[in-house]
Amino acid sequence: MKYLSIFYLLASIMIAQDNFIGDVFEKGSINYGDRTIQAIGIGFIPENVINAGQARRSAMRIAKQDALRQLIEIVNGVNVTSETTVSGAMFDDMIKTQVQGAIRGARRVGQPSYLSDTSVEVTYEVKMADISRVLLPMADSAPTLQYGTANSTNATAATSSSTAAQPTSGGVTGIIIDGTGLGLRPAMSPRILNQDGSVVYGPGQYSRDYAASNGVVGYAKTLDQAKNDPRVQGNPLILRGTSIFGSSAADITISNTDAGKASSADGLASLFSNCRVMFVLD
């Protein structure tokens, strides 16, 4: 009951944070806002300890091992693409070993908490970038459909939402896709599709190292928050998503008209290669 109360307290604090976008679990969290994954470990004092110093060291060691076990479980559930989690992406022993190595390199955050039952609680964190560096090479070799023109035969089927805004002056500094109300979910490597299913923005259009370090897209809870994000700040092109795609609902579809606008803006400012894209979600 005590741990459940702690969980609800931590969950309410994290969800209230402006930059928290992701999932909170009983013993950890996935935050696509600051691109971190955390896990909580509990260590109990063994019965055969000799003194207080040994008791504390033993409890800390057990707590770390527990946190790393929790991290493995949480990391396995992170969405890499709209169709694949980390667990599903570890299709060979080399990738699995590298992911586990990144987890073993997790660092402790904050100070240990010493609980009334003499146990100790610690939190360990792994950067999402360390996981992305292992898994994004798979995305680099994936086929990328090229979007040809905004004047598709289906272009009249869906037009820009009235909420979409055009930059008023100057060069476009980024692209914001408003996906609120669609059930959009975050992932490490999401895509933007046009209404024909062609890829407007996705694997092969950005550097693996740059995307791993900075994220393929940024996420925000509101348009104002997205506009002020350094990734697109200045004069962003704001477009409205029409639907979501994929089993994890991480890809977003925009109209062919808006796809043409996004492609034109990218051609002028190389926005996609620098991952200057933000998604707004609920």
Query: What is the pLDDT at residue 152?
Result: 37
pLDDT for residue 139? 54
| Lowest-confidence pick of 143-157, 173-187, 213-227, 244-258 | 143-157
Average pLDDT over residues 45-74: 85
Among the ranges given (4-8, 46-50, 64-68, 95-99), the one the predictor scored with the smallest mean pLDDT: 4-8
- The 10 Å Cβ neighbour count of residue 16 is 8
Q: How far apart are CA 280 and CA 192, in angstroms?
A: 13
Range from 102-106, 121-125, 169-173 carrying the lowest mean pLDDT: 169-173
Amino acid in position 247: S
Give the integer Cα–Cα distance in Å for 52 and 268: 65
Confidence of residue 49 (pLDDT cuts 50, 70, 90): low
What are the domain boundaries of the chain? 2-138, 143-280
How many CB atoms lie under 10 A from the CB of residue 68? 17
Residue 229 confidence class, pLDDT cut points 50, 70, 90 = very high
Gap between the Cα atoms of 105 and 101, Å rounded? 6
Q: CA-to-CA distance for 263 and 153, rounded, in angstroms?
A: 17
pLDDT of residue 168: 42
pLDDT score of 211: 93
**Structural tokens at position 174:** 């980024």
Lowest mean pLDDT across 1-15, 26-40, 204-218: 1-15
Q: Which residue has better confidence, 70 or 48?
A: 70
Average pLDDT score, the chain? 84
Distance CA 49, CA 120 (A): 15
Q: Which of 134, 77, 82 is nearest to 105 (CA)?
A: 134
Q: Dump pLDDT digits (tens) for 73-84.
A: 999 999 999 999
Predicted confidence at residue 85, as pLDDT, reads 93
The model's confidence at residue 138, banded by pLDDT at 50, 70 and 90, is: low
**In this structure, what DSSP letter does residue 42 have?**
E
What is the reported pLDDT for 192?
97
Strands (E) located in 115-216: 120-127, 175-178, 192-193, 199-201
* pLDDT surpassing 50 at residue 161: no
What confidence tens digit (pLDDT) does each residue in 112-122 have?
A: 988 877 789 99
Q: Where are the beta strands (DSSP E) in 63-203?
A: 107-114, 120-127, 175-178, 192-193, 199-201
Question: What is residue 4's predicted lDDT score, i.e. its pLDDT?
Answer: 47
Region 14-33 average pLDDT? 83
CA distance 68 to 40: 8
